[in-house]
Structure 1
Amino acid sequence: MNFQIQNSNKNDIEEIFRLYKIATDYQKTKFSVHWPVFDRTLIETEISENRQWKMVANGQIACVWATTFNDPQIWEERNYDQSLYIHRIAANPEFRGQGLVGKIVEWAKVYAAQNQRQFIRMDTVGNNLGLINYYTKCGFDFFGLVKLKNTSGLPAHYDNAIVSLFQITLNRK
């Protein structure tokens, strides 16, 4: 199957929220912490800033995610490193098991290098051993658990949360 990665657009908003709802419903069956309903303005802003992405195959969105080059509340003093941060990966159930995160990682390596970034970073709320194992299999180093100091302005699932941090270091030539 041929997967293509491109920026999301305003016509994708309903599908983005559908995939977030599927992911949240799944999280509710497995974990005590789950995604809140995200503010539509957040997604619209990410789209207008070309920071909301989609992977498309056979005319369908296989998964979505967001990126930023700045994440100070989660990465604190490490935020000064030149990094690409990936947030809110949500997969279409019809495409699960097809290595989508691995495909995102390969894309992110190129995108980060094009933008002079040395690291690719992600976080997930909680001590989710399944996700920790999965993300490390996708090439991330697990940086451990961190209690966030300042969550004001972050989505609600970060309140009073312990966060797992992940990083890939890119080779510099």
Structure 2
Amino acid sequence: MEIQNSTLNDIEEIFRLYKIATDFQKTRFTVHWPEFERRLVETEIAESRQWKIVINDQIACVWATTFSDPKIWGERNSDPAVYIHRIATNPDFRGQNLVQKIVEWGKQYALTNGKKFIRLDTVGDNPGLISYYTKCGFDFLGLSKLKDTAGLPAHYNNATVSLFEMGV
């Protein structure tokens, strides 16, 4: 298993994994990911903020990071944190605790970049994800109603989000 930055050559696979994740979300939840703009992912790749876990030369999982997320985290955004977004797992690798691998990597990544927290969010009040992320070591900080979602992906419009944080 290796964690690497995604490259432009990975774009089709990243979007395939997003589609699989979105299709799954549609079977379980009322809120699901929209179709993300290709330019968003290209920018993340160019800025070395799009990541992948590679196992046996296959992309097992992808996610994106940022060091600032003010529209979701509000005043807490001033805290030194790394924010994780859009974790999507290849179905061939489910059940391999890949989020836990991201957490382990994230702790070192945060420390290397002078951050004190790893944070993530999910849209809505999803007891299953709340339980899962707390089992991965995150503290559930509660629900937050987003106020200004201009510039965020469509699933954040008029949304309430579940906020998660882990100290490093």
TM-score normalised by the chain length of structure 1: 0.97
* Residue type at the aligned position of 1:154: L
| Cα distance between partner residues in 2 of 1:161 and 1:75 | 13
What are the equivalent positions in structure 2 for 1:57-72 lying under 5 Å apart? 57-72=55-70
| Residue in structure 1 matching 2:38, options 30, 37, 40 | 40
**Residue in structure 2 matched with residue 124 of structure 1 by the alignment:** 122
* Residue type at the aligned position of 1:156: A
| Cα distance between partner residues in 2 of 1:88 and 1:53 | 10
| Cα distance between partner residues in 2 of 1:151 and 1:63 | 27
- CA drift of 1:10 comes to 0.3
**Residue in structure 1 matched with residue 89 of structure 2 by the alignment:** 91
Size of the alignment, in residue pairs? 168
Aligned to 1:117, the other structure's residue is in SS state coil
Could you report, residue by residue, the CA deviation over 1:102-127 in whole angstroms, capped at 9, with x for unpaired residues?
00000000000000000000000000
| Cα distance between partner residues in 2 of 1:116 and 1:69 | 10
* Residue type at the aligned position of 1:102: Q
| Residue in structure 1 matching 2:80, options 79, 82, 86 | 82
Could you report, residue by residue, the CA deviation over 1:114-158 in whole angstroms, capped at 9, with x for unpaired residues?
000000000000001000000000000000000001100100000
| Cα distance between partner residues in 2 of 1:67 and 1:83 | 10
Q: Which runs of 5+ in 1 are unaligned?
A: none
| Cα distance between partner residues in 1 of 2:84 and 2:152 | 15
Aligned to 1:67, the other structure's residue is in SS state strand
TM-score normalised by the chain length of structure 2: 1.00
Moved over 6 A (4+): none
Identity %: 71
The answer to whether 1:9 aligns with 2:7 is yes
| Cα distance between partner residues in 1 of 2:9 and 2:140 | 35
**Residue in structure 1 matched with residue 22 of structure 2 by the alignment:** 24
Could you report, residue by residue, the CA deviation over 1:3-37 in whole angstroms, capped at 9, with x for unpaired residues?
10000000000000000000000000000100000
Aligned to 1:136, the other structure's residue is in SS state helix
Could you report, residue by residue, the CA deviation over 1:37-73 in whole angstroms, capped at 9, with x for unpaired residues?
0000000000000000000000100000000000000
| Residue in structure 2 matching 1:158, options 152, 156, 159 | 156
Aligned to 2:121, the other structure's residue is in SS state strand
Q: Which runs of 5+ in 2 are unaligned?
A: none
**Residue in structure 2 matched with residue 138 of structure 1 by the alignment:** 136
